């Protein structure tokens, strides 16, 4: 417990400085969303996300890629933020200049009430035409592609999902771009695609000036996101990791909790609240 108290003390001492969290799929694991590199859920264990989350895979088989994304959107639509998401919202309100920089595309941090966040890898509820660069916001995209509507998916049972999407979806039903006629893909950043430059620039700027970085639920193997904690450390920041497994950041970390986010984050915030009273 003393490590939790020491971390809470560090956050109190830096409460008026910049503090950021870099989160990954592990933050959403306890909301029931499978991680990328963990033991993949049955349905997709024969496919590698690193292969599917690419423009090449989309060009080769847009139907398969869209079925994979709709499967994830179906899970996300039914998922709820959990205690760790809520702890990060509290942290935002307790600290002067807090940022939640996430690799996740599920938007659970928004649903928890996070205001100060950056989405490095986009948002699964939006659309992107990769042929003419047209972007579609969540509302607009669900009109273009009703099967991708969040409420529709939230109310869809497993059986209906299998029947309407896994079996029923055909290439003709995939969303077409009104501007160029190309098939519209999900509004996320695929492997081999650049991150949105304004978001990445802002993330670097935050990491460089941060006194503390908490790396939560990320295997820290995907770049340039994984570079952010290293950058903070390099500039003299304090690095705290929360992950049941070791990662390439563990050796660099000042504290590394081999535990789940839902357990550790609320404890840290609870201790910090006591100190700030
Ligand atoms: C780019 C959106 C350049 C899509 C994603 C060789 C070396 C270095 C880099 C490269 C290389 N070859 C290629 C690259 C670049 C590549 C890359 O980094 N590849 C890696 C895999 C080697 N990067 C890119 O391609 C990036 N773009 O570099 O562009 C460029 C510039 C100009 C012009 C053209 C190109 C784009 C990367 C973004 C890819 N998109 N997602 C989608 O989601 O569908 S990345 C994907 O992986 C997800 O976003 C995910 O978030 C991310 C990282 O994974 P994690 O979040 O860490 O998840 P993971 O499953 O790995 O780990 C979960 C962790 O949680 C585990 O450690 C587990 O122990 C822990 N955990 C589990 N339960 C819990 C928990 N922790 C806490 N609590 C729990 N309960
Ligand atoms: Zn287009």
What is the per-residue pLDDT for 38? 67
Ligand 2 mean position, distance from CA 178 (Å) = 7
Q: Which two tokens stand for residue 259?
A: 């535990």
CA separation for the pair 57, 188 (Å, rounded): 14
CA separation for the pair 196, 109 (Å, rounded): 19
Q: Is 72 touching ligand 1 by the criterion CB < 6 Å?
A: no
Q: Is the pLDDT assigned to residue 43 strictly greater than 80?
A: no
Confidence class for position 46, pLDDT limits 50, 70, 90: low
Q: Is 149 touching ligand 1 by the criterion CB < 6 Å?
A: no
Q: Which two tokens stand for residue 165?
A: 């999407």
The secondary structure element, H or E, covering residue 91 is helix 83-94
State the catalytic residues: 121
Ligand 2 mean position, distance from CA 172 (Å) = 16
CA separation for the pair 260, 258 (Å, rounded): 7
In order of 27, 166, 168, 276, the CA distances from 173 in angstroms are 33, 13, 9, 55
Q: Model-level pTM greater than 0.95?
A: yes
Atom 19 (ligand 1) nearest CA: 222
Mean pLDDT taken over the chain: 96
In order of 11, 148, 196, 258, the CA distances from 239 in angstroms are 11, 38, 25, 14
Lowest mean pLDDT among 40-44, 134-138, 164-168, 227-231: 40-44
**CA-closest candidate to residue 188, choices 38, 20, 25, 21:** 25
Q: Is 194 touching ligand 1 by the criterion CB < 6 Å?
A: yes
């Amino acid at each position: 417990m003393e490590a939790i108290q020491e971390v809470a003390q560090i956050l109190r001492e830096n409460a008026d400085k910049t503090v950021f969290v870099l989160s990954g799929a592990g933050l959403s694991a306890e909301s029931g969303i499978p991680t990328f590199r963990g033991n993949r859920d049955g349905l997709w264990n024969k496919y590698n996300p690193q292969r599917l989350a690419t423009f090449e895979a989309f060009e080769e088989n847009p139907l398969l890629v869209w079925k994979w994304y709709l499967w994830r959107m179906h899970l996300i639509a039914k998922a709820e933020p959990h205690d760790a998401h809520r702890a990060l919202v509290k942290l935002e309100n307790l600290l002067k200049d807090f940022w939640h920089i996430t690799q996740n595309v599920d938007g659970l941090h928004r649903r928890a009430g996070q205001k100060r966040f950056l989405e490095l890898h986009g948002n699964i509820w939006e659309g992107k035409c990769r042929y003419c660069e047209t972007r579609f916001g969540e509302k607009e995209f669900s009109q273009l592609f009703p099967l991708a509507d969040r409420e529709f998916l939230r109310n869809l049972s497993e059986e209906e999902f299998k029947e309407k999407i896994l079996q029923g979806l055909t290439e003709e039903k995939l969303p077409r771009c009104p501007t160029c006629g190309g098939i519209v893909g999900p509004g996320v950043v695929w492997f081999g695609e650049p991150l949105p430059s304004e978001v990445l620039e802002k993330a670097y700027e935050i990491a460089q000036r941060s006194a503390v970085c908490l790396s939560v639920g990320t295997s820290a193997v995907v770049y340039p996101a994984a570079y952010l904690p290293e950058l903070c450390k390099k500039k003299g920041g304090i690095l705290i990791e929360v992950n049941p497994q070791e990662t390439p950041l563990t050796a660099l970390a000042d504290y590394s909790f081999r535990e789940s986010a839902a357990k550790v984050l609320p404890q840290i915030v609870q201790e910090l609240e006591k100190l700030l009273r």
